[in-house]
Every structure is written in C-alpha cells, then in structure tokens.
C-alpha cells in the first residue's frame, strides 16, 4: 500500500511527462506504423487465371478448351478426375516436343501417368487445336 501509491503516482507522472513531451513524436510514431500495417502482403496469392489472363496463348487455348469436354475432368488449380492444369504445367517443361507429345495424348487418350483413371480419346480434335489447348495448359506455371 505504502509502496504502490507513490508508484502509481510516479507512473501517472511519467505518463503525463511522456505525453507532454512526446506529443510530436507520438504522431510520427503512428505514421510510421500505419503504412506497415496497410502494406499489401507480398505473398498475396493471385490465381493462375488472373496471372495469365492477358496472354494470347491463354486466351486462344481457353476458348478452344471450352468447346470440348476438358473442364468436366480438369480444373486449373484443383485435381478432380484428371490432374489440375497447374500440376501438368509443373511436371512438363514448356517445349515444342512436350506440346506435341501431350497433344497426341489428348487426341489418343491414355492412362498411367497420373494414376489409374484413363483420359478418354478426343479423335475429333485436330492436332492444331489440341496443341493450342496444351499450350494453354503448360502456360499455367506458378
């Protein structure tokens, strides 16, 4: 009791002193902390769709994909029946050979690379269309 009271007073006095003296400093302190708090998180995730939406290869490939049944088994960033396009893009280097190889696989169908579920063949697709679709898929790298 004897100790706390003067101590409280001392704290109040000190607080008053800091407030009185640091009035100017206080504001500068708040202005320095505010931008840090408002700074956009550098790790903010943007979707692959957003990342590549303006790329002509993206636009062309996606338009062609939409005319086929691809989206019923594939999503961009989530595995459903088939692997996500992002997983396919991460697995294969974006080379002419890989685009040819994967375009053939889309046309002929196949199984065993990603698991037990087969991809059905797409015999009505031209090699050019299949290549444009695969070029879109391989573009989707993180």
Contact positions vs ligand HEC (CB under 6 A): 65, 68-70, 72-74, 81-83, 88, 102, 105-106, 110-115, 117, 119-120, 122, 133-134, 137
The residue (of 21 and 80) whose beta carbon lies closer to ligand HEC is: 80
Cα(52)–Cα(84) distance, integer angstroms: 16
Min CB(131)–ligand HEC separation in Å: 10
- 110 backbone dihedrals φ, ψ, rounded to 5°: 170, 170
Q: Which residue has the tokens 């879109």?
A: 136
Min CB(37)–ligand HEC separation in Å: 43
Nearest to 52 by CA among 43, 42, 62, 41: 62
The residue (of 38 and 93) whose beta carbon lies closer to ligand HEC is: 93
Min CB(133)–ligand HEC separation in Å: 4
Cα(136)–Cα(58) distance, integer angstroms: 5
Q: Which one-letter DSSP state was computed for residue 40?
A: P
Min CB(43)–ligand HEC separation in Å: 29
The residue (of 29 and 108) whose beta carbon lies closer to ligand HEC is: 108
Cα(57)–Cα(133) distance, integer angstroms: 9
Cα(65)–Cα(74) distance, integer angstroms: 10
Cα(140)–Cα(107) distance, integer angstroms: 20
Min CB(63)–ligand HEC separation in Å: 12
The residue (of 18 and 71) whose beta carbon lies closer to ligand HEC is: 71
The residue (of 38 and 96) whose beta carbon lies closer to ligand HEC is: 96
């Amino acid at each position: 009791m004897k100790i706390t009271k003067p101590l409280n007073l001392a704290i109040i006095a000190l607080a008053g002193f800091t407030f009185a003296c640091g009035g100017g400093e206080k504001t500068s302190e708040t202005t320095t902390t505010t931008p840090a708090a408002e700074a956009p998180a550098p790790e903010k995730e943007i979707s692959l769709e957003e990342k590549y939406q303006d790329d002509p290869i993206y636009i062309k490939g996606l338009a062609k994909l939409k005319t086929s049944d691809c989206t019923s088994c594939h999503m961009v960033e989530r595995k459903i029946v088939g692997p996500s396009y992002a997983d396919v893009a991460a697995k294969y280097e974006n080379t002419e050979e890989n685009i040819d190889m994967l375009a053939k696989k889309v046309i002929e169908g196949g199984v065993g690379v990603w698991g037990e579920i087969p991809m059905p063949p797409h015999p009505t697709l031209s090699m050019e269309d299949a290549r444009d679709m695969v070029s879109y898929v391989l573009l989707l790298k993180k």
